[in-house]
Amino acid sequence: MLTLKQYIVHADQKHTAIGHFNISNLEGLKAIFSVAKKMDVPVIIGTSENEREWIGVKQCVALVRSLREEFNYPIFLNADHTYSFERVKEAIDAGYDSVIFDGAKLSLGDNIEETKKCVDYARSINPEIVVEGELGYIGSSSKMLETIPDDVQTSLLNLTKPEDAERFVKETGVDFLAPAVGNIHGMLKHGKDPDLDIERIKAIRERSGVPLVLHGGSGNTDHDFRRAIVNGVAVIHINTEIRRAFRTALESFLKNNPDEIAPYRLMENAVYEMEKVVEEKLKVFTVHAG
């Protein structure tokens, strides 16, 4: 089995992307793993600060590791959006394969300084730990949105500049970079998410010299995904669409089966609907785009 870093580099070279899916519970993990395994593609499980607090930091590591070991399968764990060095350190110490320090709201100088601190710490523990940096704010919720929040609206006018990306990567030493290229966290309830700025993705990939990670993939079109992948995106994050599938399926099951009380039966339909989302995305991400 390759390391996560090697899988991402391979995806970048082959013009495919690895799916990064967030979980809040065992059902999510079950759905994501079963689809990845069926399609025989590597996969990344993400947990935000809140998600990993709910499951337990060490428990997340134990769960993902148990699948990797039992099935000798390339499933990896990422500490998604982590806002402090302390919590990055906590995830690394617990055994996460990958961490994201999110300093997108800091000034460029402060973001570089804090990210560098996380990179240095990760390298001192294990050089194979992946460290991703964030440059450009794209909102912070994995929700169904009525409208694009004001601060994200402003950010859409200030997307990541290729020259900033180059400086950020050079000075921090991050393995991968998540830029703001028209993507937003969460997805619009009515209407479609903004288009991705493909030219910018291409320019940032070239100047930064590292594969890119696309956050907030929920709500983006397959056409945009394919073009983003060809131009330098090697990992794509999906959360909101899985959450929506879970809730909708659970709600309808409860409504139609008022007497059922076995949790594993209540959740069956939700797992199935989450699997459908994961499969749909992985089919787009892992097709050789050219």
Interface with Zn ion: number of residues (CB under 5 A): 2
Residues 237 and 22: beta-carbon distance below 8 Å: yes
Instruction: Give me the least distance between CB of 148 and Zn ion, in Å please.
Output: 15
d(CA 40, CA 215): 23
Residue 149 has what DSSP assignment?
A: -
Closer CB to Zn ion, residue 29 or residue 100? 100
Considering the rule CB under 5 A, would residue 202 count as an interface residue with Zn ion? no
Closer CB to Zn ion, residue 180 or residue 250? 180
Structure tokens at 177: 């970079």
User: Considering only 8-16, 111-119, 207-215, 240-248, which stretch makes contact with Zn ion by CB under 5 A?
Assistant: 207-215
Considering the rule CB under 5 A, would residue 215 count as an interface residue with Zn ion? yes
Side-chain half-sphere CA neighbours of 61 within 13 A: 13
Catalytic residue among 12, 40, 80, 164: 80
Residue 194 has what DSSP assignment?
A: P
Considering the rule CB under 5 A, would residue 226 count as an interface residue with Zn ion? no
d(CA 67, CA 126): 21
Structure tokens at 143: 């929700």
Left, alpha or beta for 122 (phi > 0: left; psi -120 to 50: alpha)?
Answer: alpha
Closer CB to Zn ion, residue 161 or residue 237? 237
Considering the rule CB under 5 A, would residue 20 count as an interface residue with Zn ion? no
Residues 234-253 that bind Zn ion (CB under 5 A): 237
d(CA 7, CA 26): 25
Instruction: Give me the least distance between CB of 100 and Zn ion, in Å please.
Output: 8
The residue number whose beta carbon is nearest to Zn ion equals 215
Closer CB to Zn ion, residue 215 or residue 244? 215
Give SS3 for 169. helix
Considering the rule CB under 5 A, would residue 200 count as an interface residue with Zn ion? no
Is residue 222 part of the annotated active site? The answer reads no
Q: Which residues bind Zn ion (CB under 5 A)?
A: 215, 237
Q: Which residues are catalytic?
A: 80
